[in-house]
Amino acid sequence: MHAPTNPRTRIAVLAVPMVAFTVAAYAGNALAPTLVNEGPIALLLLSPKIRWLLLASPNVDAIWFFGIPLARAVLLLGTYFLLGRWYGDRALRWLESRSGNALRPVLWIERKFHGARGPVTFLFPGNVAAMLAGADAMPLAQFLAIALLSIGLRLWAVRALAEVFHGPLVDILEWIGDNQLWLTVISVGGVIGWAMWSNRHGLTQGETIEEIIEDFESDSSPAPD
């Protein structure tokens, strides 16, 4: 996929979904005590973390349990893959600058990626690997095939675990339902507090669409395809 020629349009195409996915994850985590019973599919759309997958499994058919996280992964990983493909080393330096205290694992993955693209992608099928795959000119189809295989196997393991512990999970879901209001209030407060604390201490660096555009807009030349 060729990058749009206008520098601002080019990065905006990626910045919008990047921020949208981040906001969605925060919202899903905050509202999880309500959504896990009343909207489990919405929870998987917003934040398909392992703990929510496990809790939502008894209330979600297999087609949604597997289909939603995999479709979401295609969109999310595709976005970061294009960021790496279009901006190359500049995208990697940007990632390092916003990794804060999590920089060491990012650098480890970056050092190992070129010599072992398949294994690293399978072990770490996330945004960092997607960006590195794009910057390293790895074929998109190859990257997605390996990443989705890894994610699919993890989903299968969570689903199997949920079947084994079906009874206890149902009991937990009933307890969450009985205490939904105050659990949601605590969850919302916890997510807001964590976001403020982590930004202050350099664990994460949340950015708006405009801030991401400004980070990249000065570079008018995308990396070659």
pLDDT in tens, 115-155: 888 898 999 999 889 999 999 999 999 999 999 999 999 99
Query: If you search the block for the tokens 């496990």, which residue do you land on?
Result: 54
- For residues 44-48, give the mean pLDDT: 96
Contacts with 172 (C-beta within 8 Å, 6 or more apart), sequence order? 55
1 domain residue, yes or no: no
110 domain residue, yes or no: yes
For residue 110, the model assigns a pLDDT of: 78
- For residues 196-210, give the mean pLDDT: 65
Which one-letter amino acid corresponds to residue 16?
A: V
**pLDDT over 60 (residue 202):** no
Return the higher-pLDDT residue of 206 and 107: 107
Nearest to 216 by CA among 103, 86, 79, 99: 86
For residue 4, the model assigns a pLDDT of: 64
Query: If you search the block for the tokens 């945004």, which residue do you land on?
Result: 127
For residue 151, the model assigns a pLDDT of: 97
Check if the beta carbon of residue 128 is closer than 8 Å to that of residue 95. yes
Return the higher-pLDDT residue of 5 and 47: 47
Q: What is the DSSP letter of 224?
A: P
**pLDDT over 90 (residue 73):** yes
CA 89 to chain CA centroid, Å, is 21
Q: What is the DSSP letter of 61?
A: -
CA pair distance 197, 188, nearest whole angstrom: 14
- For residues 23-41, give the mean pLDDT: 95
Range scoring the smallest mean pLDDT among 12-21, 58-67, 96-105, 169-178 = 96-105
**pLDDT over 70 (residue 59):** yes
29 domain residue, yes or no: yes
Number of folded domains that form the chain: 1
97 domain residue, yes or no: yes
**pLDDT over 70 (residue 223):** no
Query: If you search the block for the tokens 């601002």, which residue do you land on?
Result: 8
- Report percent pLDDT > 90 for the chain: 58
CA pair distance 137, 85, nearest whole angstrom: 7
CA pair distance 40, 53, nearest whole angstrom: 9
Count CB-CB contacts under 10 A for residue 150.
Answer: 18
- For residues 50-72, give the mean pLDDT: 96
2 domain residue, yes or no: no
**pLDDT over 90 (residue 199):** no
Q: Could you list the residue range(s) of the whole structural domain that residue 208 is in?
A: 7-217
- Report percent pLDDT > 70 for the chain: 84
For residue 108, the model assigns a pLDDT of: 74
Which one-letter amino acid corresponds to residue 176?
A: I
225 domain residue, yes or no: no
Mean pLDDT for the chain? 87
CA pair distance 123, 159, nearest whole angstrom: 19
Query: If you search the block for the tokens 């390996």, which residue do you land on?
Result: 146
pLDDT in tens, 174-189: 999 999 999 999 999 9
